[in-house]
Structure 1
């Protein structure tokens, strides 16, 4: 199976979506209180994982490859951040907060996988049958 052909419009869609997602991530992170535990990044990554799981259920995504490209690898790719998460884990451990770093690492993995699974489960739920009247 070969990869889909890359198109110039795909690059523009990913770039525009990525810029929007990165701006949203910056806004969430800037507006959030910061303490020892990096809650904003955890929330961003868990919400992003959930939305990625739900994305296939959206009619607009199923009807348009372009919308799927802009929202998936674009907006959600720009919104979620593995690099910030990894850097925060490394920084916490380097500052002697090894238990917090380990908890953050494990919680992000568990919550992200759980959120993605929940989103997928929701997106694959059968439609309720219309009531006969």
Structure 2
């Protein structure tokens, strides 16, 4: 049953990531990968809220598989983040490559903690 939950979550997360990426990148005329950044930060915040809900026992282990492993696993993408950072570096945009690496990690952790704090305040 959990395989199905992961598959269902992933079936929503993957196209959602693509839609977020394309809609945000279409609005920015820059080499910085804002779309991937936004998808990753969104997923980190969702995971923080979910973690807080599980800790408060208002979400179940099945919710973790559906939303945490499936949805967030497909929504966030370390491989695209890594590829885009390397591409920026190879294209000579070293500042943007470094900014992408540092800001993505810091903002991702920050979003996770904000989501967790939000969840703990609500639940």
Q: State the number of aligned residues.
A: 118
Q: Which residue of 2 aligns with 1:70?
A: 66
Tell me whether 1:27 sits opposite 2:19 in the alignment.
yes
**Deviation digits for residues 2-55 of structure 1, max 9, x if unmatched?**
xxxxxxx11111111112100111111222225311001111111111110011
Match of 1:121 among 99, 117, 123: 117
Q: Is the 8 A contact 1:92 1:101 kept in 2?
A: yes
Q: Which residue of 2 aligns with 1:56?
A: 51
Match of 2:98 among 102, 115, 123: 102
Distance 1:97 1:63, change over 3 A: closer
Tell me whether 1:12 sits opposite 2:8 in the alignment.
no
Question: Which stretch of structure 1 is more off in the superposition, 116-125 or 97-106?
Answer: 116-125
Q: Is the 8 A contact 2:23 2:35 kept in 1?
A: no
TM-score, normalised to structure 1's length?
0.80
- Unaligned runs of 5+ residues in structure 1 are 1-8, 128-133
Aligned residue for 1:62, secondary structure, equals coil
Q: Which residue of 2 aligns with 1:89?
A: 85
Alpha-carbon distance in 1 for matches of 2:89, 2:69: 30
Larger Rg: 1
TM-score, normalised to structure 2's length?
0.86
Question: Which stretch of structure 1 is more off in the superposition, 82-91 or 115-124?
Answer: 115-124
Aligned-CA RMSD value: 1.9
**Deviation digits for residues 94-113 of structure 1, max 9, x if unmatched?**
11111110011100011111
- Unaligned runs of 5+ residues in structure 2 are none
Q: Is the 8 A contact 1:56 1:62 kept in 2?
A: no
